[in-house]
Amino acid sequence: MSELGISVYLKEDNLDENITYIKKAAELGFTRLFTSMLEIVGEPDQHIAGFKKLIDVANKVGMKTTVDINPALFDELGIKYDDLSFFKELGAWAIRLDEGFTGLEETQMTHNPLGLKIETNISRGGHYIESVMDYSPNRDALIGSHNFYPQKYTGLDKDYFNGTAGLYKSYNLQTSAFVSAPSATQGPWPVSDGLVSLEDHRNLPLATQVQWMKFNPNIDNIFIGNAHASDEELEEAATAFKRTMPLLHVLKNGEPTELETKIVEGKNQLYRGDRSSYVIRSTQSRVDYKNEPLAPRNTETVNQYDVLIANENYGQYKAELQIAIKPLENDGRMNVVGRIHPDDIILISEINPWSSFQLKFV
């Protein structure tokens, strides 16, 4: 089952703020927590009590905590990969290996008797996960997550993102990735221009990012990478995560008629399976409104991502809804009722033939 999570970072004097944030997120249905210990190298002892308190609170409200670590931190804390009791005593549910070992150590850790999950870094790519699998890990304890990227233009390419996560899914391993709240400013490092896994998400609304991840078959769990998202953003993320189909917002072309509004918003759309490279077709409205008058209006040239409704001059196709994938000529038989909002265009790639989606005018 997919889960939704937040991230917190232990800074000076922000323990109480983090605790409040964790409790608020839990009330909205968030069940996962990510935190990082990477930045405490050089002074770990003074922070351990704070991490334990944070994780204790998360455990009490039903949130499972992943702690981000690397080999240098193992050395600093005197931890051996065959004895992970430190993290169990801390209250962690999983430890994430930001920088991995050779594959053998990761596998040994998956056989820990403490029930800890071992999360490897999907973004490393290459043959990393294969090198872990070569040593026959305990797959029930092995999971993966993508990195997040605080620096602009350094986030993952979509094909690389899907290819590397898809490899984990081919092994039936649980996967996670990060989205970014526009209002949040805290991360583990001083530079934080949004903490996204996918570069294309960096300047998008949080709800759009969550929807893209939710309907991507390569990703199971979604974390808001930066802290602290506003109350409104937490609610938007929780609502988006609960959706069972994508919702795309439509900018109006003039003022749609009552019938055009019904066709766009009234029912779920179903992407017809015999796909075209020019349009996404949703045809049930042809049946529902075949006897309704639908006069030609706004019959201008069709631009990419325009939302179209066939008017009464289109015979048996009258009232069919389409989304243009490419620019098209319009011979006067298609009413251009609006255009997919630029923020939601990225969601079109997550709508597949025979899948359902919803449209809403804004």
Helix pair 206-214, 231-242: axis angle to 10 deg: 30
- Domain positions in the chain are 4-243, 248-361
Q: Which residues pair with 324 in a beta bridge?
A: 279
Burial (CB count <10 Å: 0-12, 13-18, 19+), residue 24: middle
Kind and range of the H or E run holding 310: strand 306-310
Q: What is the pLDDT of residues 159-216, one digit of tens each?
A: 999 999 999 999 999 999 999 999 999 998 887 889 999 999 999 999 999 999 999 9
Q: What angle do CA 238, 233, 27 make, to 5 degrees?
A: 45
Do 58 and 21 meet the contact criterion of CB atoms below 8 Å apart?
no
Q: What angle do CA 357, 294, 265 make, to 5 degrees?
A: 25
Q: What is the DSSP string of 70-132?
A: -HHHHHHHT-BTTB-HHHHHHT-SEEEESS--SSHHHHHHHT-TT--EEEEEGGG-TTHHHHH
Do 321 and 290 meet the contact criterion of CB atoms below 8 Å apart?
no
Q: How far apart are CA 198 and CA 35, in angstroms?
A: 19
- Superfamily of segment(s) 248-361: Cyclophilin-like (2.40.100.10)
Q: How many residues does the chain have?
A: 362
- Count the Cβ atoms, other than its own, within 10 Å of residue 14: 16
Relative to beta strand 117-121, strand 64-69 is unpaired
Largest CA distance in the chain: 77
Burial (CB count <10 Å: 0-12, 13-18, 19+), residue 22: buried
Sequential pLDDT tens for the chain (362 residues): 899 999 999 987 899 999 999 999 999 999 999 999 987 766 667 789 999 999 999 999 999 999 999 888 888 888 999 999 999 999 999 999 998 899 999 999 999 999 999 999 999 999 999 999 999 999 999 999 999 999 999 999 999 999 999 999 999 999 999 999 999 999 988 878 899 999 999 999 999 999 999 999 999 999 999 999 999 999 999 999 999 999 999 999 999 999 999 999 999 999 999 999 999 999 999 999 999 999 999 999 999 999 999 999 999 999 999 999 999 999 999 999 999 999 999 999 999 999 999 999 99
CATH class of 4-243: alpha beta
